[in-house]
Structure 1
Amino acid sequence: MQYVLLRVPVSLIRSQHDSITKLWFAKTNTTLQEDYRKWYSHHLGRDIEMLVYGNWGYPVLLFPTSMGHYYEYKDFGLTDTARWFVETGKVKLYCIDSIDRDSWYAKHLHPGTRIWNHVLYDRFLHEELVPGIQRECSVQKIGVSGASFGGYHALNFAFRHPEQVGHLLTMGAAFNIRSFLGDYYDDNVFYNNPPDFLPNAQNDEFYRMNIVMGTSQYDFCKDANYQMSGILSRKGIPHKLDVTPWGNHDWPVWKDQFPRYLSMI
C-alpha cells in the first residue's frame, strides 16, 4: 500500500475560489510493474523464466531461496521493498529461476550428476544470462543478490566470475555445499564451494567489488557468515558483515535488509 499525493482544485468544491488548490492524500494499491520473460536456454536444454522490474537503472540479479522460482521474491514481498529504487531508476531487478531441484536437492541423482547440472547453470549465467543483462543495461558489471540459498548462488557466482560482478549483496546465506553431496568430491565440487576455492584464489577484481553480507541475531546461518567474513578478511578483501540485532532466518529480516543494501550501490 502506498500513498500518492494529488493536487485537486478547490473549484471542484467551492467554485468561488477557482485559483486556490488544496492537497490531500488518496490511497492506491498499485503493483510494481513487471516484465515476464521466458526463453529456451541451450546451456540448460530447457525453458527458463524470469521477472524483470524497472525500465532502467543498475542491474541486480536476484537468485531465489532453496528450490525457489523466479516469482518467489514477488510472492513474499521482497521486490516491493525495492519499489523506490526501481521506480526512480536507481536499480533494475532481474529475478531468475533456479534449477536446484535438478542439482543440489536432486537426491535421486548421483552426486556427480547433481554438481554437473549446477555447472551447466553456472555456464548459463556466465555465458548467456549475465552478458544479456550487461548489453541491455550498457554496463560492464552487474549486482548479484539472494537470500538463504540464493545468497550461496550470488556469492559463488561473484567469486567465480568477478569480472562480471560489481556488487554482491547476500541475506541469511550459507556458503558450504559439501553436505549436499555426502562423501562425493571432485574438481567441480571444489570450484563451486567458496570455503574451499576462495582462500587460495587470486583476482584483482575481488578487491573492486562492493560486498555486503547480511545475517541476524538468531539466524542459523550466522556462523557461516562469520566464517566467510573471516576468509575475506584474511585475504584483505573489503566487505561489510551486517548483523541485524533481531529476527531469525526468515523474510521479515531479509525484507528489512534488502532495501538498505540496495542503498549502498
Structure 2
Amino acid sequence: MTENYLKWHSPNLGKEFEMLVYGDSGFPMLLFPTSMGRYYESKDFGLIEAIRWFIEEGRIKVYCPDSIDAESWYCTNINPAQRAYNHSCYDKLLREEILPKMESETGYDRIVAAGCSFGGYHAANFAFRYPDKVSYLLSLSGIFDIKGRLDGHYDDNIYFHNPIDYMPENKHNDLWRMGIVLGVADSDVCRSANEQLSQVLTRKNMAHWLDIRPQASHDWPIWREMLPHYLSLIK
C-alpha cells in the first residue's frame, strides 16, 4: 500500500500544512481526523488498515489532511469570531489547495468526504457546502452543530459553517445527487445529533441512510467496522 507524506506552505493558513495520501488510483476520499486530531491519526488507530483492501485494489485513494481545530473551534484562548474565521481559512485550504490536487491526481471531479466524530462534522460541512464536488458523504458518529463551542456568539461565518443551521435553506441541486450515510452507535453520545440531521434531510426529501449500530459506542472499533462497509456500497 503506497503511503506518501506531503508538506507545503499554505497561503490560506499562512503556515506549513501536512497530509498523508494512501494509494495510487481510485475514487478520491478526503478523510478527516477527529477533534484536534492529526493527519496520521487514521493510520495510528487502524482505520487505514481497515480499508487497506480498497486502497490496494485501486478502488479508493485516501487523502488524510491535518486539522486546525486547536486554532479554530476548540481554541478557547481567542474570541469566537476569530475561531470561526480561522476555520473559514481551513475551508479555503480544502477547497483551493487540496481538492484540485485530488481531482488532478485521480481524474475524478467529485469526491468522497468522510470522517469520524468531529471529523464527521468536517466531512458533512464540506459536502453540504460543495455538493457539486462531493458524490458521497460518509459521516461516522459526527456532530453537525458547533454553536456550543462559541460562547453564545453568532455571525454569518458561523451560520455558513454550521450544517444544522444552513441545511434547511440549502437548495443546491446537487444535494439530491449525493449518497449520504450517517453512521452512529446506539449508545453514542452523538446519536441525537445524527437523528436530528436525519430529520432535516428527510424534510428536504434527501435520500440518506441513518445507520444506528447496536451494542456499540462512540469509539474506533465501530468506526473500523463502519467505514469498509460503507465503501463497499460505492458503485
Q: Same fold (TM over 0.5)?
A: yes
Task: Quote the Cα distance in structure 2 between the aligned partners of 1:79 and 1:44.
Answer: 27
Q: Residue in 2 aligned with 1:21?
A: none
1:76 counterpart residue number: 45
1:172 equivalenced with 2:137 (yes/no): no
2:117 match: 148
Greater Rg by CA: 1
Taking every aligned residue pair, what percent have the same amino acid on both sides? 49
Give the Cα–Cα distance (whole angstroms) in 1 for the partners of residues 233 and 194 of structure 2.
19
Whole-Å Cα distance in 1 between the matches of residues 151 and 233 of structure 2?
A: 38
Matched, 1:195 2:178: no
1:75-114 residue pairs with structure 2 within 5 A?
A: 75-114=44-83
Q: CA RMSD in A?
A: 0.7
TM-score when scaled to structure 2? 0.98
Shift of 1:33: 3.1
Q: Distance in 1 between matches of 2:231 and 2:17?
A: 26
Correspondence 1:67 to 2:36: yes
| Counterpart-to-counterpart distance in 2, 1:143 and 1:63 | 11
Matched, 1:213 2:182: yes
1:239-254 to structure 2, matched below 5 A, reads 239-254=208-223
Structure 2 gaps, min length 5: none
Q: C-alpha separation between the residues in 2 aligned to 1:113 and 1:84?
A: 41
> Deviation string for 1:153-176 (max 9, x for gaps)?
000010111111111001011110
Where does the alignment leave 5 or more consecutive residues of structure 1 unmatched? 1-31
Q: Distance in 2 between matches of 1:93 and 1:128?
A: 16
Distance in 2 separating the partners of 1:110 and 1:68: 22
Measured against aligned partners, the alpha-carbon deviations of 1:34-68 in whole angstroms (never above 9, x if no partner) come to 11111111011111111111000101000000000
Deviation of the 1:135 alpha carbon: 1.1
Q: Distance in 2 between matches of 1:33 and 1:244?
A: 31
**AA partner of residue 36 (structure 1):** Y
Counterpart CA distance in 1 for 2:91 and 2:65 is: 13
Give 1:6's aligned residue: none
Amino acid at match of 2:206: I
In the alignment, which residue of structure 2 is the partner of 1:48? 17
Match of 2:224 in 1: 255
Where does structure 1 differ by over 3 angstroms across 4 or more consecutive aligned residues?
A: none
Checking the alignment, whether the CA contact within 8 Å between 2:6 and 2:18 is kept in structure 1 is yes
| Distance in 2 (alpha carbons) for counterparts of 1:78 and 1:113 | 32
Q: Name the CA distance, whole Å, in 2 between partners of 1:91 and 1:126.
A: 20
Partners of 1:34 and 1:264 in 2: CA distance: 24
1:234 Cα deviation from its structure 2 partner? 0.3
- Richer in strand (by share): 1
Which of the pair has the greater relative contact order for Cα pairs under 8 Å at 6+ separation?
Answer: 2
Shift of 1:134: 0.8
Secondary structure, counterpart of 2:61 in structure 1: strand
CA contact (8 A) 2:2 2:24 kept: no
Per-residue CA deviations over 1:151-200 (Å, capped at 9, x if unaligned) read: 00000010111111111001011110000001100000111111111001
Number of matched residues?
234
